[in-house]
Amino acid sequence: MLLNLSKEHITAGKKFNRWLVPPAALAVHLSIGMAYGFSVFWKPLGAALTGADGKPVAACAAGATTFAEKIVGTGHALFATDCNWTQFDLGWMYTLFFVLLGCSAAAWGGWLERAGPRKAGLVAMLCWCGGLLISALGVHQHQLWMMWLGSGVIGGVGLGLGYISPVSTLIKWFPDRRGMATGLAIMGFGGGAMIGSPLATKLMSLFATHTDPGVWQTFVVLALIYAVFMTFGSLGYRVPAANWKPEGWTPPDQQHNRMVATRHVHLKNAHKTPQFWLLWLILCMNVSAAIGIIGAAAPMLQETFGGGLIGNPALTFADIKADEALTASAAAVGAGFVGLISLFNIFGRIGWATSSDKLGRRNTYFIFFVLGAMLYVCGTYAANHHQLALFLLVFCVIASMYGGGFATIPAYLADLFGTQFVGAIHGRLLTAWSTAGILGPVIVNYMHDVRLEAQIPYAEIYAPIFMTLAALLGVGFVANLLVRPVADKYFMSDSELAVEQQAGIKSKNESGQLALNDARTPGVMVKLAWLAVLIPISYGIWMTVQKAWSLFA
């Protein structure tokens, strides 16, 4: 019998345990979150082809110095089989990941609301895992275009659908804890690389030979592992019946909290409201102000503190670069800093989002923007006065607010627009992430390179960059200040809402009500589901803590 993916089949009865849905969402997000960890493949892939002497052959873009020359080199690398790829060639996959994530979430968010999260989750699994298999073939055949198409394009679509598939479902199951619910799932996306990167490194070491770095085999194994996790996660999705609410919970009185809507805005009207575009700008500024710095965390720390990282403050980063052993020591500390930032990014997602249930979404974003700007000023002071501990604290908190912004925005949307189309609206809003993924790194990398070419000392490069990023947070603060409740004219009537709630549902009993499976969820099933995701999360945290310990060892 074919698996029933219809929306009425996954509508739960009153005895269903809603705590089974968060681990299902985590299983999907932990899998697709490996997109953040793809950089572990760059070095092995950059030396995949070796000559008769056992040394890596030249890169396709060897000798390229200008941006135009690098682009030409990448064009050659797409189809060449006799030269190696550079990080510039491979790094475009990151751009494809997050551009396609935003675009696919925006394009198919409406379909997701009609089809239900289970079907969307399974399609995401096919795209993400199928993309990994195509990439494996691309590595085996040394065809860069296949990697771009497989993981970058097809996998990027899987990222978009997998990212938003549980959002509206969790918000509907936890109207009393919207921030906590979305924070749990989106924490998984931030934690995917924390688990996947060390696993991929171990797999590559297992499969590697003197002529093969073991990357294509690793892609195949990861695809199989993620297929299992994403399939069981998707099958674990259930949606509550229309107008369901937790036992004993009373919806907030809108007269006392006008920022929490009790009605629903249709997807076709959401982008017509000023609130949508203000939230778009809020997310874009919050992400732009952090993503470029997080992406450059390791070199930023090494350039700013130089020999101070290895117990010799008299050495500058220029001195360290001239010594291979010193470079390796500083790089290890930089990797520890990246691990520490990853932990704060992950736990900031659940911590800030959960806090927003008490503080309110608008107030939470005010904290992000005000505290974030103050921290960038502190970061400038710490860099100028070589205060390493303060510098670490500043950027760990900034990383937590970066993650917290992602986790809080779905609940902010639900407060303003209602829950009926929040998944699809969230999908459209994620184009702000795609924009920020370009804007933030361009600002940081451009200002960095310009100041480096002007021969500014390494330790002084980042101060004006921090001030520029603080200014972006100021723009976000103003946008958040302008957010008001959505006007009545944009909300659906009760009859329009009833039609939308029945979309995709065909099976009803004689009284016209949806026929539900009212069997009680076994407690052991909930415990096993949580165990299945907590074990890999614990593994990832342990590996990351070990790496971060190099900062204090």
Rounded to the nearest 10 degrees, how much is the dihedral formed by the CA atoms of 221, 223, 225, 227? -150
Instruction: Give average pLDDT by consecutive 10-residue segment, the chain, 553 residues.
Output: 66 87 94 87 85 82 78 89 85 84 90 89 96 96 94 94 89 90 86 87 90 92 96 92 82 67 91 96 95 82 86 84 79 80 90 94 96 96 91 94 94 92 92 88 84 84 93 97 95 86 58 57 88 92 80 63
For tokens 């009212």, the residue is 518
Angle of the 215-235 helix axis to the 117-141 helix axis, nearest 10: 170
How far is the C-alpha of 462 from the C-alpha of 272, rounded, in Å? 39
- What's the confidence (pLDDT) of residue 483? 96
Q: Kindly report the backbone phi and psi dihedral angles of residue 361, in degrees, each rounded to the nearest multiple of 5, phi listed first.
A: -65, -45
Q: Kindly report the backbone phi and psi dihedral angles of residue 214, in degrees, each rounded to the nearest multiple of 5, phi listed first.
A: 80, 20
- What's the confidence (pLDDT) of residue 512? 47
Token duo for residue 310: 């290895």
How far is the C-alpha of 272 from the C-alpha of 507, rounded, in Å? 34
What would you measure as the largest C-alpha separation in the chain, in angstroms? 83
How far is the C-alpha of 135 from the C-alpha of 116, rounded, in Å? 29
How far is the C-alpha of 221 from the C-alpha of 215, rounded, in Å? 10
- Residue 165's closest CA among 57, 278, 21? 21
Amino acid at 538: S
- What's the confidence (pLDDT) of residue 340? 86
pLDDT tens for residues 216-254? 999 999 999 999 999 999 999 998 887 788 888 887 665
- What's the confidence (pLDDT) of residue 511? 44
Global pTM reads: 0.86
Q: Is 273 helix (H, G, I), strand (E, B) or coil?
A: coil
- Cβ atoms < 10 Å from Cβ of 366: 16
How far is the C-alpha of 471 from the C-alpha of 482, rounded, in Å? 17
What radius of gyration do the chain's Cα atoms show? 24
Quick check: 446 and 465 in contact, CB under 8 A? no
Angle of the 117-141 helix axis to the 155-164 helix axis, nearest 10: 160
How far is the C-alpha of 215 from the C-alpha of 207, rounded, in Å? 8
Q: Kindly report the backbone phi and psi dihedral angles of residue 265, in degrees, each rounded to the nearest multiple of 5, phi listed first.
A: -95, 135
- What's the confidence (pLDDT) of residue 506? 57
- Cβ atoms < 10 Å from Cβ of 299: 16
How far is the C-alpha of 116 from the C-alpha of 4, rounded, in Å? 12
DSSP state of 148: I
- Residue 395's closest CA among 372, 366, 418? 372
DSSP state of 56: B
